[in-house]
Amino acid sequence: MKLLDNEKELIFNAKKGSDIAFEKLLLHYLGLINRLSNQYRAEGYDSEDFNQEGCVAFFSAVKSYDETRNISFKNYAMLCIKNRFSTIVRQSKAEKKMPDEVKVPFEEVEITDEDLNPESQMLYQERLASLKEKAKKILSKKEYSVLMLYIEGYSYREISRVLKTGEKSVDNALLRAKKKLL
């Protein structure tokens, strides 16, 4: 990987909130993030999920990097990304050990407005519109698409067919969306 000439300046500006500086850094390190993400496997995570998590970890690395420490930014970013991936793998293995009777599938949560009176239906629709707006702002495109299809009543299998992805990937996207929206 070729060194970035103005890396220190870009890191400084990205810490100050410059989206352009962050995007330049991310583009430079995207190949590294992709290579690292291909080294990890966890049930329910596909390579796109790991890439997304790697980008989030990279963002954290940019924000928390301290140049006065005796570590290069590249090594620090790699460490942050690897730690995030290791956490995902560890959590994935821990979730497998959870007894099935404790787990409640997200599919069992039913969203319906049939039994509501007109006033309650109106409030429900307003809350749903507000939720959609909030979701659009904070969710990734995949998470938002999965959530909207789920709200429309699609099953995991149907969503996976529409979006051409695995059912477990759909489940993970819904879980991430739920965490972000709560």
**Encoded amino acid at 59, one letter:** F
pLDDT band for position 12 (cuts 50, 70, 90): very high
Q: Answer with the residue of higher pLDDT: 157 or 102.
A: 157
Q: Let me know whether 25 and 41 are in one domain.
A: yes
This prediction has a pTM of 0.52
Q: Answer with the residue of higher pLDDT: 36 or 106.
A: 36
The pLDDT of residue 97 is: 54
Q: Answer with the residue of higher pLDDT: 124 or 141.
A: 141
What is d(CA 143, CA 134) in angstroms, rounded to the nearest whole number?
Answer: 12
The pLDDT of residue 109 is: 45
Choosing from 96, 125, 152, the residue where a domain stops is 96
For every residue of 135-164, DSSP letters joined together read HHHHS-HHHHHHHHHHHTT--HHHHHHHHT
The pLDDT of residue 107 is: 47
Q: Let me know whether 81 and 144 are in one domain.
A: no
The predicted-structure confidence for 104-140, as pLDDT tens digits, reads as follows 454 444 545 555 567 766 776 777 777 778 778 888 8
What is d(CA 130, CA 181) in angstroms, rounded to the nearest whole number?
Answer: 11
Q: Answer with the residue of higher pLDDT: 97 or 27.
A: 27
Structural tokens at position 165: 């992805």
Domain containing 130: what range? 104-181
Choosing from 96, 125, 141, the residue where a domain stops is 96
